Chains A and B, each alone.
Chain A
C-alpha cells in the first residue's frame, strides 16, 4: 500500500490507462499548462504533450468534439473546469452524448469521459459551487461516478476508461488534496458497487463525495451518544447499488440520505422513494433526506455555511430519528 492524494490517484489512473490504450487523450481549460484549477492534473504536468492539451473557453466545442472523437474510435477524457459549466454546453451532452448510443441501437460506441470539479468551496458563489449530478441521473444515457477517496477515484476512473459508455465523473473541490491508501498493484472498481465506509447498526446513511466525510465525522460524535451509523458510499450514482442499501436498511431499519446538492428533488428523493417501494416493511421511521437549502449558493461565507449541509445536519437528523429510542 502507498499513501497518495486524490489528485495523484486520478492522475495515476489516467496515465496508466493512456499507456495501456493510445486512443485515450485528454483536454480542457487550464489543465496541460496549469495542472487544473484545483490541481487535479498536477501529476500530469509535462506528460504526453500531444495527448494532454488545453482548449479555448468553449464548452460547446469541448463536449461536442469529444462526442465526435469517440464516434470515430478515440477515448477522450474532457474536463469541464467547473461542474456549473456543464450548462454552457449542455445540449451536446443531454441531446447528443446521452442519446447516440441508444439512437444507433448500440452501434455507435461512446467511450468518453467528462470529468471535473464540483461542490462548494470558499465563497465561490452561485455559479461556481453547484453539485448537479441529479440532472444527469434524471436524464437516461450516461453513467455517473462520484468518488470520495483516492482509492475509489483511481479504481473507478480506470473502469470508466475501459467501458464503451459515456461516463461523467464529479470530483469535489475539497477532496483533491485528501490523502489515502491505495494498493501498489493495479485494481479496478466495478460500477454499481457501493462501499460501506463504516459499519453500524442503528441508522444507514447513504451518501457520496464530501458528505461521506461529514457523515464519518458525525458517526464519531454520535457514537458517544450510543447512536451507531452505517455509512454507505454509493460511489456510482448511475448505476447505484440498491441491493446493498436495502440489505443495510433491513439491518438498521432506519435510513438517512445525505448529499450536498439541493434537497428538493435531489437524488436522495430517488433513493428514498426506491427504498420505500422495495423495503417498506423494514422501515421503523420515516426516511430523512439531507441536502442544501433550496437557494443558489450565497457568496457570504456565513450564508454558504447556512445553506450547505455538513456533519451537524447529519447529527441533528440522526438524533431526531432516534428520538424516544
Chain B
C-alpha cells in the first residue's frame, strides 16, 4: 500500500489545499497518472501517482486544507483493502516518516502537535448527503440546523430553494485566490498606497530591443533593475516597522494565467545581461502556461512589475505586493503626436508608467525621482 501525502512544494509551504481529485476511489492508476490538484498559498500543481495500482481510498476532501505530509489518499493492489490504523500513534509515526524519528520523544512531540490540530468535519445526515450529491450542492456551503449543527434534509431543501431564487451561484474560491485575498487585503489595510503616473516615450527602447532581438519587457526589466540599484529604498521589504533593503534585485512579474494571477520571480537581475533576462523570462512564462511553476519560482521578489498594456489599459493604480514597498504598472504603448525638440511634432510610441508605493517609507518626491530616472533610461537606451 502506498500513501499519498500533501507534498511540500517549497521551503515555506506548511499547508496544501485540495483543489480537486482527478481520479475516483476504485479507479486504477498508472505510475505518472495525475491523481489530484493541490495548491499551496503560492501555486497549484497536479500530483502524479508514484506507483501503479488502485486508488483504494480518498481521505483528503476537495476544497479542504491539510498540513504538509498529511495522508490524503491510499493506493494499493487490486485485492487490497484499506483499513485505517486503529491506533492514532501508529498512523502519526508513518505520517512523519520523512522526518527521521531518532527517538521516541520526537515522535511523541510530533504526535502531540498533530493531535492538537482541530479536525474539521462537516456533519450531515446520510439523507442530506445523498440529496446534496443529487442536486450538485457542496455541503460546505450549507449551514446545518440539526443537533450540533448537523446538516439535515430541511437545510438542503432550503438551500435548493435559495439557489432557485438567486440568479447567482456561489462559487468556491480556490486556495490561490484565498491567498491573494489575504495578501491584498493586508497590503490595502496596512500600507498607505499612492500612485504616481508619468507618460514616457518608448520609441527608442522599442527600436533598440528589436535590434537586439529581445522583448520590450526584457529591456524594461533591465532598466528597472538599474534604477533599483541606484534608488535602493525601492528594492526593499517593509515589515514590522523594519525596512530591509536588499542587494539582490529580484523582480516579480505579474502574469495573468487561467488559474489567476501569478508572480514568477526573476532572481538576481543585477547579475544578468539582457539576453539572460530574455531567456529566463521565456522559461518562466512557458512554465506559467504549462502550470509547472514551482514554489521556488514564485518567492523572494523584492520589486514587482505588472503590465496591462496589451489589454488597452493606459494607466492604473497597482496594489503593492507585500511586503514590497513599490510596484510598477506598465500601460499600453500607443502612437501619439508629440512635441519633440525644437517644437516639432513627431509620431512617438508613448506609454504611461504607474508607480504605486507605500507612503509610510517612500515619499512622493522619491517616487517622482524613480519615474524620472526610469523614463530617462527608457528614452535613452543607448546609455545601456
Contacts and interface: CB of A to CB of B under 8 A. Distances in A.
24 contacts: A253-B127, A253-B153, A280-B126, A281-B126, A281-B129, A281-B130, A282-B126, A282-B127, A282-B130, A283-B126, A284-B125, A284-B126, A284-B128, A284-B146, A285-B125, A285-B146, A285-B147, A285-B152, A320-B147, A323-B146, A323-B147, A324-B145, A325-B145, A325-B152
* Most chain A beta-carbon neighbours within 10 Å: one of B127, B128, B145: B127
Contacts of A325: 145-146, 152, 154
Given A253-B153, A284-B152, A324 B147 contact: yes
Interface string B130-153: 100000000000000111001011
A253 B152 CA distance: 10
Contacts of A320: 147
B213 to A, nearest CB: 65
Contacts of A285: 125, 146-147, 150, 152
Given A253-B153, A325-B152, A284 B147 contact: no
Given A281-B127, A282-B130, A284-B128, 13 more contacts: A253-B153, A280-B126, A281-B126, A282-B127, A284-B127, A284-B152, A285-B125, A285-B146, A285-B150, A285-B152, A323-B146, A324-B145, A324-B146
A324 B129 CA distance: 18
Nearest to A250: B127
Interface residues of A, number: 11
Interface string A251-288: 00100000000000000000000000000111111000
Interface in A280-322: 280-285, 320
A324 B127 CA distance: 16
A283 B125 contact: yes
Q: 5 smallest A-B Cβ distances: which pairs?
A: A281-B130, A284-B127, A284-B125, A324-B145, A284-B153
Interface in A238-258: 253
Nearest to B133: A281
A320 B154 CA distance: 16
A255 to B, nearest CB: 12
Interface residues of B, number: 13
A283 B127 contact: yes
Contacts of B145: 324-325
Interface of A: 253, 280-285, 320, 323-325
* Most chain B beta-carbon neighbours within 10 Å: one of A282, A320, A323, A324: A324
A281 B156 CA distance: 14
For the residues of B in contact with A, the DSSP-based class is helix
A285 B154 CA distance: 11
A228 to B, nearest CB: 15
Nearest to B147: A323
A284 B157 CA distance: 12
Contacts of B152: 284-285, 324-325
Contacts of B129: 281
A325 B125 CA distance: 13
A28 to B, nearest CB: 48
A253 B153 CA distance: 9
Contacts of A324: 145-147, 152
Contacts of A283: 125-127
Contacts of B127: 253, 281-284
A284 B126 CA distance: 6
A236 to B, nearest CB: 28
Contacts of B130: 281-282
B62 to A, nearest CB: 21
A324 B126 CA distance: 17
A258 to B, nearest CB: 19
A253 B146 CA distance: 13
Contacts of B147: 285, 320, 323-324
A282 B126 CA distance: 7
A253 B130 CA distance: 12
A280 B146 CA distance: 17
Nearest to A253: B127
* Most chain B beta-carbon neighbours within 10 Å: one of A280, A284, A323, A325: A284
A324 B125 CA distance: 14
Nearest to A283: B126
A129 B146 CA distance: 38
Nearest to B154: A325
Contacts of A280: 126
Contacts of A323: 146-147
A325 B128 CA distance: 14
A325 B158 CA distance: 12
B269 to A, nearest CB: 59
A282 B129 CA distance: 10
Nearest to B149: A324
A253 B125 CA distance: 10
A257 B152 CA distance: 20
Interface in B244-275: none
Contacts of A281: 126-127, 129-130
Nearest to B125: A284
A284 B147 CA distance: 11
A282 B146 CA distance: 16
Nearest to B150: A285
B133 to A, nearest CB: 9
A285 B146 CA distance: 8
Interface in B64-93: none
Contacts of A253: 125, 127, 153
Nearest to A282: B127
A10 B147 CA distance: 45
Contacts of A284: 125-128, 146, 152-153
Contacts of A282: 126-127, 130
A285 B125 CA distance: 6
Contacts of B125: 253, 283-285
A284 to B, nearest CB: 4
B247 to A, nearest CB: 62
A320 B148 CA distance: 12
B154 to A, nearest CB: 6
A130 to B, nearest CB: 33
B156 to A, nearest CB: 10
A253 B43 CA distance: 44
A324 B145 CA distance: 6
Contacts of B154: 325
